[in-house]
Amino acid sequence: MATKFSDLELAINTLVTEFHKSADDGPTMNTTQFQTMLSNQLPAFSKTVEGEEGLAQVLQQMGVESGQDISFNHFWTLINKQAIDLFGSTHKEKNVKCSCLLQ
């Protein structure tokens, strides 16, 4: 296939692919897989998550209930948060509201 994808399409593809990789191609990832993903793929954010308590807090913000595995939807709330933070820091006007996620 000689199809050339756009930067945006490649970026979306990367987000989905990284979930698949971290979840070992399963439908969800467990907490250990999630921690490994954080360290490898979001190292800057990972450093702000300290210990069991920090991790529990992140999982809670992602809507993951105690003992539950992490779905693509949960993962997406984290990506969403990262993107909004980045958008906020790269644009003075914080006009982004996303009440449906990470309340």
- Which stretches of the chain bind its own copies, using CB under 8 A? 6-16, 18-20, 25, 27-28, 40-44, 71-73, 76, 79-80, 82-84, 86-87, 90-91, 93, 95-98, 100-101
For helices 72-90 and 51-61, what crossing angle results, to 10°?
A: 90
Are the CB atoms for 100 and 58 separated by under 8 Å?
no
* Token pair for 86: 């980045």
> Which CB sits closer to its own copies, 48 or 95?
95
Q: What CA–CA distance (Å, rounded) separates 51 from 87?
A: 28
* Shortest distance in whole angstroms from residue 8 CB to its own copies: 4
* Shortest distance in whole angstroms from residue 2 CB to its own copies: 14
* Shortest distance in whole angstroms from residue 53 CB to its own copies: 24
